[in-house]
Structure 1
Amino acid sequence: LSPSRPPAVVPSLLVPPSSSQPGPGRLLCSVMDFYPAPIQVRWFQGQQELSEHVVATDVVPNGDWTYQLLVLLETPPRRGLTYTCQVEHVSLEQPLRRDW
């Protein structure tokens, strides 16, 4: 069995193509190269968890025992507010937080 591997977490802004879908972008949290598969990813706005507007892909195997997951925040980010992608995984002693 492979030892557990902590995820690499990258928050980014998805900007829709202006022609098809004008408007603000969406926040994407890319969680890469973790093992084993069970993982929890949550979005926060400040201290408030955003549970209603979060869409996640299935956990996808990379073919090398690691997995990846994309978690999209469907509401456009508002200026002046902090958004945090929080990841909980067995390899982490405490939740991993990435601010956007």
Structure 2
Amino acid sequence: PSVSISLWPSSSQPSPGCLLCSVMDFYPAESQLRWFQGQQELSGHVVATDLVPSGDW
């Protein structure tokens, strides 16, 4: 898989941003992604999008 994590909006903004994680070229499609801070899984304020099949974006 290919993983990219970025801050959105960019770090040049004075307000806190959000982390954006993009994952590509993975198999199987049923993969699960989770955010952790230390040993604690983060569940609040986490937004997931639908899977976009390869070539459809």
TM-score (norm 1): 0.47
Shift of 1:12: 1.0
- Report whether the alignment pairs 1:30 with 2:29: no
RMSD (Å), alpha carbons: 1.7
Q: How many residues align?
A: 53
Q: Which amino acid aligns with 1:33?
A: D
Q: How far off its partner does 1:36 sit?
A: 2.5
For 2:20 and 2:26, the matched residues in 1 are separated by 17
Residue in 1 that maps onto 2:51: 59
Q: Deviations over 1:61-93 (max 9, x none)?
A: 013xxxxxxxxxxxxxxxxxxxxxxxxxxxxxx
SS in 2 for 1:39: coil
CA distance in 2, matches of 1:36, 1:47: 26
Partner of 2:3: 9
Percent sequence identity over aligned pairs: 72
- Partners of 1:55 and 1:12 in 2: CA distance: 15
Q: TM-score, normalised by structure 2?
A: 0.76
Larger strand share, 1 or 2: 1
Q: Which residue type is aligned with residue 40 of structure 1?
A: Q
Structure number with larger C-alpha Rg: 1
Which fold has the larger relative contact order, with Cα–Cα distance below 8 Å and residues 6 or more apart in sequence?
A: 1
Tell me, what secondary structure is at the counterpart of 1:56? coil
